[in-house]
Protein backbone atom coordinates (compact mmCIF):
# COMPACT_ATOMS: atom_id res chain seq x y z
CA UNK A 1 0.00 0.00 0.00
CA UNK A 2 1.30 3.46 -0.91
CA UNK A 3 2.09 5.44 2.24
CA UNK A 4 0.24 8.42 0.78
CA UNK A 5 -2.93 6.31 0.72
CA UNK A 6 -2.69 5.66 4.46
CA UNK A 7 -5.42 7.80 6.00
CA UNK A 8 -4.95 6.82 9.63
CA UNK A 9 -2.47 5.33 12.07
CA UNK A 10 -4.50 2.12 11.75
CA UNK A 11 -3.73 2.06 8.02
CA UNK A 12 -0.02 2.34 8.83
CA UNK A 13 -0.39 -0.46 11.38
CA UNK A 14 -1.87 -2.70 8.67
CA UNK A 15 1.00 -1.91 6.30
CA UNK A 16 3.54 -2.57 9.04
CA UNK A 17 1.93 -5.91 9.89
CA UNK A 18 2.39 -7.06 6.29
CA UNK A 19 5.93 -5.77 5.92
CA UNK A 20 7.70 -7.11 9.01
CA UNK A 21 7.89 -10.62 10.49
CA UNK A 22 5.35 -11.47 13.15
CA UNK A 23 7.87 -11.35 16.01
CA UNK A 24 8.79 -7.75 15.16
CA UNK A 25 5.16 -6.68 14.86
CA UNK A 26 4.32 -8.38 18.17
CA UNK A 27 7.23 -6.63 19.86
CA UNK A 28 5.87 -3.28 18.71
CA UNK A 29 2.15 -3.94 19.17
CA UNK A 30 2.08 -6.21 22.20
CA UNK A 31 1.67 -5.65 25.92
CA UNK A 32 2.09 -7.70 29.05
CA UNK A 33 0.03 -10.71 30.16
CA UNK A 34 -3.64 -10.33 29.12
CA UNK A 35 -2.97 -6.87 27.66
CA UNK A 36 -5.68 -5.32 29.84
CA UNK A 37 -3.58 -2.21 30.38
CA UNK A 38 -2.81 -1.98 26.68
CA UNK A 39 -6.53 -1.99 25.88
CA UNK A 40 -7.26 0.39 28.75
CA UNK A 41 -4.96 3.02 27.29
CA UNK A 42 -7.25 3.32 24.28
CA UNK A 43 -10.42 3.13 26.36
CA UNK A 44 -9.30 6.08 28.49
CA UNK A 45 -9.47 8.28 25.39
CA UNK A 46 -12.65 6.70 24.03
CA UNK A 47 -14.56 7.49 27.24
CA UNK A 48 -14.02 11.22 26.65
CA UNK A 49 -16.28 13.31 24.41
CA UNK A 50 -16.03 16.89 23.20
CA UNK A 51 -18.44 19.72 24.03
CA UNK A 52 -17.39 22.06 21.17
CA UNK A 53 -17.86 25.80 21.08
CA UNK A 54 -19.70 27.18 18.06
CA UNK A 55 -19.69 30.39 16.05
CA UNK A 56 -16.00 30.97 16.73
CA UNK A 57 -13.69 32.41 14.06
CA UNK A 58 -11.15 29.61 13.49
CA UNK A 59 -9.84 30.84 10.14
CA UNK A 60 -6.36 31.55 11.51
CA UNK A 61 -4.92 28.53 13.30
CA UNK A 62 -1.46 27.53 14.51
CA UNK A 63 -0.39 24.19 15.97
CA UNK A 64 2.91 25.49 17.35
CA UNK A 65 3.43 25.14 21.07
CA UNK A 66 6.05 24.98 23.81
CA UNK A 67 7.20 21.72 25.39
CA UNK A 68 9.54 21.86 28.38
CA UNK A 69 10.32 25.47 27.54
CA UNK A 70 11.30 24.82 23.92
CA UNK A 71 9.42 25.24 20.64
CA UNK A 72 7.59 22.42 18.91
CA UNK A 73 5.47 22.51 15.76
CA UNK A 74 3.05 20.02 17.28
CA UNK A 75 2.37 19.11 20.94
CA UNK A 76 3.94 15.67 20.59
CA UNK A 77 7.22 13.92 21.25
CA UNK A 78 8.38 11.00 19.12
CA UNK A 79 8.82 8.66 22.02
CA UNK A 80 11.63 6.38 23.12
CA UNK A 81 11.22 2.83 21.87
CA UNK A 82 13.98 0.24 21.99
CA UNK A 83 15.08 -1.95 19.08
CA UNK A 84 13.76 0.37 16.35
CA UNK A 85 16.36 -1.20 14.11
CA UNK A 86 14.15 -4.29 13.92
CA UNK A 87 11.38 -2.27 12.28
CA UNK A 88 13.63 -0.53 9.74
CA UNK A 89 17.35 -0.49 9.07
CA UNK A 90 18.90 2.20 11.28
CA UNK A 91 15.42 2.80 12.64
CA UNK A 92 16.58 5.13 15.42
CA UNK A 93 18.30 7.38 12.90
CA UNK A 94 15.27 7.29 10.60
CA UNK A 95 13.01 8.28 13.49
CA UNK A 96 15.36 11.09 14.51
CA UNK A 97 15.51 12.52 10.98
CA UNK A 98 11.71 12.47 10.66
CA UNK A 99 11.19 14.10 14.06
CA UNK A 100 13.74 16.82 13.34
CA UNK A 101 12.14 17.55 9.95
CA UNK A 102 8.71 17.74 11.61
CA UNK A 103 10.00 20.10 14.30
CA UNK A 104 9.10 17.88 17.27
CA UNK A 105 11.35 16.43 20.01
CA UNK A 106 12.58 12.85 19.81
CA UNK A 107 13.37 10.67 22.82
CA UNK A 108 16.23 8.26 22.12
CA UNK A 109 16.12 4.98 24.03
CA UNK A 110 19.01 3.59 26.07
CA UNK A 111 18.63 0.45 23.97
CA UNK A 112 18.71 2.21 20.62
CA UNK A 113 20.60 0.45 17.85
CA UNK A 114 22.25 3.66 16.65
CA UNK A 115 24.54 5.52 19.02
CA UNK A 116 23.60 8.65 20.92
CA UNK A 117 26.45 10.51 19.30
CA UNK A 118 25.68 9.42 15.73
CA UNK A 119 22.04 10.44 16.08
CA UNK A 120 22.97 13.86 17.45
CA UNK A 121 25.57 14.45 14.76
CA UNK A 122 23.58 13.24 11.77
CA UNK A 123 19.96 14.08 12.63
CA UNK A 124 20.04 16.91 15.15
CA UNK A 125 16.79 18.45 16.27
CA UNK A 126 15.51 18.51 19.83
CA UNK A 127 16.89 15.30 21.34
CA UNK A 128 15.91 13.77 24.67
CA UNK A 129 17.61 10.72 26.25
CA UNK A 130 15.45 8.06 27.90
CA UNK A 131 17.57 6.37 30.54
CA UNK A 132 17.17 2.95 32.11
CA UNK A 133 18.99 2.67 35.43
CA UNK A 134 21.34 -0.29 35.67
CA UNK A 135 22.59 -2.04 38.76
CA UNK A 136 26.05 -0.95 37.63
CA UNK A 137 25.44 2.75 38.21
CA UNK A 138 28.78 3.72 36.68
CA UNK A 139 27.43 2.62 33.29
CA UNK A 140 24.22 4.60 33.75
CA UNK A 141 26.16 7.70 34.75
CA UNK A 142 28.54 7.31 31.81
CA UNK A 143 25.58 7.21 29.40
CA UNK A 144 24.09 10.32 31.00
CA UNK A 145 27.38 12.19 30.63
CA UNK A 146 27.64 11.13 27.00
CA UNK A 147 24.12 12.39 26.30
CA UNK A 148 25.02 15.74 27.86
CA UNK A 149 28.24 15.97 25.84
CA UNK A 150 26.35 15.18 22.62
CA UNK A 151 23.90 18.04 23.23
CA UNK A 152 20.79 16.19 24.42
CA UNK A 153 18.55 18.71 26.13
CA UNK A 154 16.37 16.49 28.33
CA UNK A 155 16.98 13.38 30.44
CA UNK A 156 14.09 10.99 31.05
CA UNK A 157 14.56 8.66 34.01
CA UNK A 158 12.32 5.62 33.56
CA UNK A 159 11.01 4.43 36.92
CA UNK A 160 8.47 1.73 36.07
CA UNK A 161 10.97 -1.06 35.35
CA UNK A 162 12.07 -2.56 38.69
CA UNK A 163 11.45 -5.93 37.05
CA UNK A 164 10.47 -6.82 33.50
CA UNK A 165 6.82 -7.21 32.62
CA UNK A 166 5.67 -10.59 31.31
CA UNK A 167 5.34 -9.97 27.57
CA UNK A 168 3.91 -13.24 26.41
CA UNK A 169 4.00 -12.45 22.69
CA UNK A 170 7.77 -11.93 22.89
CA UNK A 171 8.25 -15.04 25.01
CA UNK A 172 6.35 -17.15 22.47
CA UNK A 173 8.35 -15.81 19.52
CA UNK A 174 11.67 -16.31 21.29
CA UNK A 175 12.63 -12.63 21.16
CA UNK A 176 12.68 -12.77 24.96
CA UNK A 177 14.43 -13.47 27.16
CA UNK A 178 17.63 -13.67 25.13
CA UNK A 179 16.76 -13.46 21.43
CA UNK A 180 16.48 -17.23 20.96
CA UNK A 181 13.98 -17.23 18.12
CA UNK A 182 11.78 -20.27 17.71
CA UNK A 183 11.72 -22.37 14.55
CA UNK A 184 8.28 -20.99 13.73
CA UNK A 185 9.61 -17.44 14.02
CA UNK A 186 12.57 -18.23 11.79
CA UNK A 187 10.30 -19.71 9.12
CA UNK A 188 8.12 -16.59 9.27
CA UNK A 189 11.21 -14.43 8.72
CA UNK A 190 11.87 -16.30 5.48
CA UNK A 191 8.43 -15.23 4.26
CA UNK A 192 9.54 -11.58 4.48
CA UNK A 193 12.47 -11.43 2.04
CA UNK A 194 12.56 -7.63 1.75
CA UNK A 195 12.85 -7.27 5.51
CA UNK A 196 15.40 -10.07 5.57
CA UNK A 197 17.53 -8.42 2.90
CA UNK A 198 17.61 -5.03 4.57
CA UNK A 199 16.99 -5.15 8.30
CA UNK A 200 18.27 -8.63 9.11
CA UNK A 201 21.70 -7.79 7.70
CA UNK A 202 22.08 -5.33 10.61
CA UNK A 203 22.57 -7.62 13.60
CA UNK A 204 20.81 -6.20 16.66
CA UNK A 205 23.45 -4.38 18.68
CA UNK A 206 23.06 -2.23 21.75
CA UNK A 207 25.75 0.16 20.65
CA UNK A 208 25.38 2.64 23.50
CA UNK A 209 26.13 -0.09 26.01
CA UNK A 210 28.88 -1.81 24.05
CA UNK A 211 31.16 1.19 24.43
CA UNK A 212 30.75 1.19 28.22
CA UNK A 213 31.01 -2.57 28.70
CA UNK A 214 34.22 -2.94 26.75
CA UNK A 215 35.73 -6.07 25.22
CA UNK A 216 34.62 -9.44 26.51
CA UNK A 217 31.18 -8.35 27.78
CA UNK A 218 28.09 -8.99 25.69
CA UNK A 219 25.51 -6.21 25.75
CA UNK A 220 22.51 -8.52 25.24
CA UNK A 221 23.58 -10.72 28.14
CA UNK A 222 24.19 -7.64 30.25
CA UNK A 223 20.67 -6.40 29.58
CA UNK A 224 19.16 -9.75 30.46
CA UNK A 225 20.99 -9.93 33.79
CA UNK A 226 21.59 -6.32 34.79
CA UNK A 227 19.13 -4.02 33.09
CA UNK A 228 16.64 -3.66 35.89
CA UNK A 229 17.47 -2.31 39.32
CA UNK A 230 14.70 -2.98 41.85
CA UNK A 231 16.64 -0.84 44.35
CA UNK A 232 16.09 2.39 42.37
CA UNK A 233 14.59 4.99 44.74
CA UNK A 234 14.10 8.70 45.36
CA UNK A 235 17.66 9.16 46.65
CA UNK A 236 18.90 7.88 43.28
CA UNK A 237 16.61 10.28 41.46
CA UNK A 238 18.03 13.20 43.43
CA UNK A 239 21.54 12.10 42.50
CA UNK A 240 20.58 12.09 38.83
CA UNK A 241 19.20 15.61 39.29
CA UNK A 242 22.60 16.67 40.62
CA UNK A 243 24.40 14.96 37.74
CA UNK A 244 22.22 16.28 34.90
CA UNK A 245 22.19 20.03 34.26
CA UNK A 246 19.50 20.07 31.57
CA UNK A 247 15.77 19.41 31.77
CA UNK A 248 14.81 16.32 33.79
CA UNK A 249 11.65 14.20 33.53
CA UNK A 250 10.48 11.27 35.63
CA UNK A 251 8.63 8.72 33.48
CA UNK A 252 6.32 6.09 34.92
CA UNK A 253 4.30 8.31 37.27
CA UNK A 254 0.65 7.37 37.89
CA UNK A 255 0.01 8.95 41.31
CA UNK A 256 -0.34 12.60 42.30
CA UNK A 257 1.88 12.24 45.37
CA UNK A 258 4.67 10.75 43.24
CA UNK A 259 4.37 13.63 40.80
CA UNK A 260 4.63 16.12 43.67
CA UNK A 261 7.64 14.32 45.11
CA UNK A 262 9.37 14.31 41.73
CA UNK A 263 8.94 18.07 41.50
CA UNK A 264 10.24 18.48 45.06
CA UNK A 265 13.32 16.48 44.02
CA UNK A 266 13.98 18.88 41.14
CA UNK A 267 12.14 17.33 38.19
CA UNK A 268 11.09 19.76 35.47
CA UNK A 269 8.14 17.54 34.66
CA UNK A 270 6.62 14.07 34.78
CA UNK A 271 5.51 11.59 32.16
CA UNK A 272 2.27 9.86 33.12
CA UNK A 273 2.87 6.41 31.73
CA UNK A 274 2.26 2.70 32.28
CA UNK A 275 5.02 1.87 29.78
CA UNK A 276 2.55 1.43 26.95
CA UNK A 277 0.86 -1.47 28.72
CA UNK A 278 4.09 -3.46 28.62
CA UNK A 279 4.76 -3.68 32.36
CA UNK A 280 2.05 -3.96 35.05
CA UNK A 281 -1.09 -5.43 33.52
CA UNK A 282 -4.12 -3.89 35.17
CA UNK A 283 -2.50 -0.49 35.78
CA UNK A 284 -4.43 2.69 35.14
CA UNK A 285 -3.55 4.77 32.10
CA UNK A 286 -1.70 8.06 32.01
CA UNK A 287 -4.96 9.73 30.99
CA UNK A 288 -6.71 8.21 34.01
CA UNK A 289 -4.01 9.68 36.27
CA UNK A 290 -4.00 13.08 34.56
CA UNK A 291 -6.78 14.89 36.48
CA UNK A 292 -5.32 14.32 39.95
CA UNK A 293 -1.79 15.11 38.80
CA UNK A 294 -2.99 18.34 37.20
CA UNK A 295 -4.62 19.35 40.48
CA UNK A 296 -1.38 18.60 42.31
CA UNK A 297 1.40 20.12 40.20
CA UNK A 298 0.00 22.15 37.29
CA UNK A 299 1.83 25.45 37.03
CA UNK A 300 4.89 24.04 38.81
CA UNK A 301 6.08 21.47 36.26
CA UNK A 302 5.34 20.04 32.82
CA UNK A 303 2.87 17.17 32.56
CA UNK A 304 3.24 14.83 29.61
CA UNK A 305 1.07 11.79 28.87
CA UNK A 306 1.85 8.66 26.90
CA UNK A 307 -0.01 5.48 25.99
CA UNK A 308 -2.75 4.85 23.46
CA UNK A 309 -2.51 7.96 21.27
CA UNK A 310 -3.78 7.03 17.81
CA UNK A 311 -5.68 10.12 16.63
CA UNK A 312 -5.22 13.86 16.57
CA UNK A 313 -8.35 14.03 18.70
CA UNK A 314 -6.50 12.05 21.39
CA UNK A 315 -3.83 14.75 21.48
CA UNK A 316 -6.53 17.39 21.86
CA UNK A 317 -8.23 15.48 24.68
CA UNK A 318 -4.96 15.17 26.60
CA UNK A 319 -4.23 18.88 26.26
CA UNK A 320 -7.77 19.87 27.18
CA UNK A 321 -7.41 17.81 30.36
CA UNK A 322 -4.20 19.58 31.32
CA UNK A 323 -1.27 17.87 29.61
CA UNK A 324 1.41 19.94 27.93
CA UNK A 325 2.07 17.31 25.26
CA UNK A 326 1.80 13.60 24.50
CA UNK A 327 4.46 11.03 23.73
CA UNK A 328 3.90 8.92 20.62
CA UNK A 329 5.11 5.34 20.83
CA UNK A 330 3.35 2.79 18.65
CA UNK A 331 1.81 5.45 16.39
CA UNK A 332 5.17 6.51 14.97
CA UNK A 333 6.67 3.04 15.25
CA UNK A 334 3.94 1.69 12.96
CA UNK A 335 4.94 4.41 10.52
CA UNK A 336 8.59 3.42 10.82
CA UNK A 337 7.85 -0.26 10.22
CA UNK A 338 5.66 0.67 7.25
CA UNK A 339 8.16 2.93 5.50
CA UNK A 340 11.15 4.17 7.49
CA UNK A 341 11.51 7.93 7.89
CA UNK A 342 8.87 8.46 5.21
CA UNK A 343 6.44 6.35 7.23
CA UNK A 344 7.15 8.31 10.41
CA UNK A 345 6.61 11.52 8.46
CA UNK A 346 3.29 10.15 7.19
CA UNK A 347 2.23 9.25 10.75
CA UNK A 348 3.05 12.76 11.98
CA UNK A 349 1.29 14.34 9.00
CA UNK A 350 -1.85 12.31 9.70
CA UNK A 351 -1.87 13.31 13.35
CA UNK A 352 -1.12 16.94 12.49
CA UNK A 353 -4.06 17.10 10.10
CA UNK A 354 -6.39 15.40 12.58
CA UNK A 355 -5.28 17.64 15.43
CA UNK A 356 -5.78 20.76 13.32
CA UNK A 357 -9.29 19.62 12.36
CA UNK A 358 -10.12 18.82 15.97
CA UNK A 359 -9.01 22.29 17.05
CA UNK A 360 -11.17 23.98 14.42
CA UNK A 361 -14.22 21.82 15.13
CA UNK A 362 -13.96 22.65 18.83
CA UNK A 363 -13.78 26.38 18.18
CA UNK A 364 -10.06 26.62 18.97
CA UNK A 365 -7.25 28.32 17.05
CA UNK A 366 -4.21 27.05 18.97
CA UNK A 367 -3.32 24.31 21.44
CA UNK A 368 -3.53 26.71 24.39
CA UNK A 369 -7.24 27.26 23.63
CA UNK A 370 -8.05 23.69 24.61
CA UNK A 371 -9.62 23.71 28.08
CA UNK A 372 -11.37 21.27 30.45
CA UNK A 373 -14.84 22.65 29.68
CA UNK A 374 -14.54 21.15 26.19
CA UNK A 375 -14.49 17.61 27.62
CA UNK A 376 -17.13 15.39 29.16
CA UNK A 377 -17.10 11.72 30.11
CA UNK A 378 -19.52 9.04 28.92
pLDDT digits (tens, 9 = 90+) for 235-268: 999 999 999 999 999 999 999 999 999 999 999 9
> What would the pLDDT profile of 138-187 be if each residue is shown by its tens digit?
999 999 999 999 999 999 999 999 898 999 999 999 988 777 889 999 99
User: Which value, to the nearest 10 degrees, does the dihedral of the CA atoms of residues 71, 123, 313, 273 take?
Assistant: -90
Give the active site residue among 64, 90, 192, 275.
Answer: 275
d(CA 30, CA 171): 11
CATH number 3.20.20.70 given to 3-377: yes
Q: Give whole-number Cα distances, 240 to 142, 237, 254, 262, in Å.
A: 12, 5, 21, 12
Spans of all domains in the chain: 3-377
The answer to whether residue 90 is catalytic is: no
Residue 229 has pLDDT above 90, yes or no: no
pTM > 0.85? yes
pLDDT at 227: 67
pLDDT at 217: 81
> Of 109, 143, 100, which is closest to residue 128 (Cα–Cα)?
109
The distance in angstroms from the start CA to the end CA of the chain is 36
Instruction: List, in order, residues 6 or more apart from 255 with CB less than 8 Å away.
Output: 289, 292, 293
Helix then strand count (H, E) for the chain reads: 16, 12
Please answer whether residues 375 and 49 qualify as being in contact, where contact means their C-beta atoms are separated by less than 8 angstroms. Answer: yes
- Enumerate the β-bridge partners of residue 108: 129
Confidence band for 86, pLDDT divided at 50, 70 and 90: very high
Confidence band for 205, pLDDT divided at 50, 70 and 90: confident
- Enumerate the β-bridge partners of residue 250: 157, 270
pLDDT at 221: 74
pLDDT at 212: 86
Confidence band for 284, pLDDT divided at 50, 70 and 90: very high
Confidence band for 220, pLDDT divided at 50, 70 and 90: confident
d(CA 205, CA 218): 10
Higher pLDDT, 97 or 199: 97
Q: What is the mean pLDDT of residues 283-298?
A: 98
pLDDT at 226: 64
Confidence band for 2, pLDDT divided at 50, 70 and 90: confident
Cis peptide before 185 (omega within 30 of 0): no
Amino acid sequence: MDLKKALSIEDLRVIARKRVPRFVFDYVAGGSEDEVTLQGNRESFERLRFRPRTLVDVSQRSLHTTILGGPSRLPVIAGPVGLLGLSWRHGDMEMAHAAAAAGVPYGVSTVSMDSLEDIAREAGGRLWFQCYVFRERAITEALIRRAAAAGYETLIITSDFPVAGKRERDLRSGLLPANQLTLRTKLDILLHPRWLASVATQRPRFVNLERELGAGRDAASFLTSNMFDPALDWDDFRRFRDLWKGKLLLKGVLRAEDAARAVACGADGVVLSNHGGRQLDGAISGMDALPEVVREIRGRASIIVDGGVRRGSDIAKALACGAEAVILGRAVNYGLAAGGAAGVTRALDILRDEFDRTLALNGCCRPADLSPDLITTV
